[in-house]
Amino acid sequence: HGAAELEETGTEALPRRTPAPAWLPTAKGEEGDFCLRSSDCAAGLCCARHFWSKICKPVLREGQVCTRHRRKGTHGLEIFQRCQCAEGLACRLQREHGPADASRLHTCQRH
């Protein structure tokens, strides 16, 4: 009987809403700021892994090297992730004026 009373009063004492941790940014993160998800970053940036943490990095523009993932889930294994290509661009094999398969480099290109 005594334990049940303590349990009831213990739960009532807890706040209904927990405040955001002090380390969470109130403004959108700039390039190089720590983040948890892309929505934490300012426009034109995404949240990507950099060593063992995640920071805001710029979304890739036309002509920039991008990472094409052959298998689902391999994105999480990278130590240095890149953002995706900007809207209207796709990550495609770079076209070279030489022998086929001369370059395995992928770049952001217009659709």
Per-residue pLDDT reduced to its tens digit, 75-93: 556 789 999 999 999 999 9
The pLDDT value given to residue 101: 54
Which bin fits 6, alpha (ψ -120 to 50), beta or left (φ > 0)?
alpha
H or E element that contains 91: strand 89-93
The pLDDT value given to residue 8: 46
The pLDDT value given to residue 60: 97
Buried/exposed 18-39: b ≥16 CB within 10 Å, e otherwise: eeeeeeeeeeebeeebebeebe
CB 58 within 8 A of CB 82: no
The pLDDT value given to residue 10: 46
Q: Which residues of the chain have pLDDT under 50?
A: 2-12, 14-15, 25
Coil, helix or strand at residue 85:
strand
Domains and CATH numbers, the chain: 27-57 (2.10.80.10), 60-69+87-110 (no CATH)
The pLDDT value given to residue 111: 81
Tokens for 25? 């940014």
